[in-house]
Amino acid sequence: MLLNKVIFQKQSDYFLFITSLLSAVLRILVHYCFLFVYLFMSGISAASAEQPLGQINQYLRVNGELLGSYEAWNYFRPALGGNNSYDLWVVRSRLGLTFSSDYADGFMQGQYSGLYGLPDDAIPSSGGALGLGGGYFLANRTTGASNVFLKQGYLNFKFNKLGLPGGAVKVGRFELADGMEYRSGVAKFDALKKRRIAERMVGGFNAIYVGRTFNGFSAVYDQPGFNVTVSGVRPTQGNLTVQGQKEISDINIVYAALTSKKDSVLAGTEGRLYYLNYRDQRVSQVVDNRPLSARPQLNDEKLNIHTIGAHLLSLQSFGSGSFDALLMGAYQFGRWTNLSHRAWALDAEVGYQWNKLPFRPWVRAVYYRSSGDDDAQDGQHRTFFSAVPSGRLYAKFPFYNQMNIQDIFLEFIVFPTEKSQFNINLHQLSLANVNDLLYTGLGASLKSGAFGYSGNATRGHKEIGQLVDIALIYNFNKHAMSRFYYGHALGGSAMKSIYPGKSNASIFLAEFSLFF
């Protein structure tokens, strides 16, 4: 009888996923049906044999995305129990209209997000949510959450024809990714930037299913040798909640970057210097290593964090292959509510790829460390704060993040075919400071309430443990791809102190995407 009930539940979840997938397509098309009515009434053909898919004419192009994902979680378990083993389904569709001209570009994009099969019992009284399923439920308060909202809507004014080549100002709602102010056009170089530099402090659109965009402006002055970008933005809701339409008006971000482009100063090398100011005065309680009663509300004592950072990235031909190196650092100062804030982070990476061997093997070594707070009562806060990042880019199994962490890992990458990539990461994880917390979270999701980060004390234990990341990406063509991921964590003494019920964990993910 119990087996039949389980099978019936699995069938129901699968049926819900399929119907949600179909519903996503229908709802996003209905929501933007005015676009198709306009095209029909104007007599414009969607695309000719000479035009790319979705190209309407020289000014207009329709583009879209349909994503379906399945995740199976077997998370750590605290002493008080809770549902640590569950699966969930995700549907996301996007439909956009791009306008391009010599003087301005425009983009409107709608998104449908659906999260299904969320566990309502994966939030025990201690240890925090048991995986992202519990986090999604906390943010949405339902086992099945869906919504349609405006993902992006902006105008980008270009000044080339007005006597300022390379100058542009974007206003509206758009994606902002620190570290990706320009692309070099070299596929491997740009892939390293996207995977190991971008969105560490500001981002969050594709590494999590709902995503996060920003309202405000971004001014760019782009020249052959350098790029200057200055942005003033407020993040939208999203991240874990499907209510992505609303702006988080009590968070203000100023970001500025000066990037020396690849080859402009040193062959094969680029450098960036950036500044970030993050101010947060939401109706929310900050999370740090002080007792709960000693942590102020942000609307009483706000965060005002300044970050100065830099990176150097180099890719060089060497022998029969290529050598890559990355050095990145950041220093923070300001106010952490009623505390003085001082913190830092450092990342050093090297790699070598054998281009003429079968499968073109690529080996990389990574050392990342961010500061933690060693004394909760000295009037100083020393935990590095990662603002509003794409945290799942840097912790694919997100039981940790970039705060108070030491992450040493080896990365092995092979390319079995031109369309596929197989990646294995072997992580050794530990706390940077045992007097601080093990932090999780992906940044602010809501206008008020949850801070966006949570933390657990480890009772003086430093070792988080080992993590094995295995990922397979297959690109069928430029319009379709699939991704499979498996992560297994072997908890060390720190995890055993937080989760004595079960200190090992695993996750499996299967994802399929269509683009046009």
Query: pLDDT for 250-280, tens place per residue?
Result: 999 999 999 999 999 999 999 999 999 999 9
Contacts for 105 with CB less than 8 Å, ≥ 6 apart: 98, 99, 155, 156, 158
Q: What's the rounded Cα separation, in Å, for the pair 205 and 175?
A: 7
**Radius of gyration over alpha carbons of the chain, in Å?**
23
pLDDT over 90 for what percent of the chain? 82
Report how far residue 190's alpha carbon sits from residue 198's, in angstroms, rounded to the nearest whole number. Answer: 10
Tell me the percentage of the chain whose pLDDT exceeds 70: 89
**Which alpha helices (DSSP H) does 32-131 contain, by range?**
33-42
pLDDT digits (tens, 9 = 90+) for 119-132: 999 988 666 799 99
Higher pLDDT, 326 or 78: 326
Token pair of 202 as six digits? 């500001």
4 three-class SS: helix
The answer on pLDDT for 296 being more than 60 is yes
Query: pLDDT tens for residues 478-506?
Result: 899 999 999 999 999 999 999 999 999 99
The pLDDT assigned to 31 comes to: 43
Helix, strand, or coil (residue 475):
strand
The overall average pLDDT reported for the chain is 90
Supply the pLDDT for residue 24.
47
H/E stretch holding 398? none
Q: Are 449 and 285 in contact (CB under 8 A)?
A: no
User: Considering the entire predicted model, what is its pTM?
Assistant: 0.89
First and final CA of the chain: distance in angstroms?
Answer: 46
pLDDT of residue 79: 86
Domains present along the chain, CATH in parentheses: 13-515 (2.40.160.100)
